[in-house]
Amino acid sequence: MKCAGMAMVEALVAAGLLGLGLLGASRMVHVALNAAEHSRQLTQAQELARQALNCGLTGDSACPSQAQVTLPPITYTVQLDHTPMGTHLSQITATVTWQRHGRTEQILWQTRRSNLPDWLGVSSLDD
């Protein structure tokens, strides 16, 4: 005589296990997506900081001290500061700020620039 209801039990157990597994997997996917998003934003912010520092290193007065850059869906605020350190040296700071899930994220990069004059010419020195 067939045991009534065993197929249902089996199905319920199977469904439960599958559900648990999918729950875990979806949680992992969620974390991975967050991490990917964070990584992408960080890369974009680093690139903006690098561009700002490179502009500051050229000594071009046209480098904006503050700018808003939108790389959808995030808007980054890029700030460039020059701090004199004596007669021949200045410190350049690039700060990139953006909002992520209600929190303010920020990276700060620094370098320095001297006012050593360039010699406009070609040197045959093998350097």
Closest approach of Cβ 75 to another protein, in Å?
20
Stretch that binds another protein, among 58-66, 69-77, 96-104, 109-117 (CB under 8 A): 109-117
Residue 114 as a binder of another protein (CB under 8 A): the answer is yes
Phi-psi label, residue 93: left if phi above 0, alpha if psi -120 to 50, beta otherwise = beta
Residues 65-84 that bind another protein (CB under 8 A): none
Burial class (CB in 10 A: 0-12, 13-18, 19+), 71: middle
| 89: region left, alpha or beta (phi > 0 left; psi from -120 to 50 alpha) | beta
120 is an interface residue for another protein by CB under 8 A: yes
**Of 40 and 99, CB closest to another protein:** 40
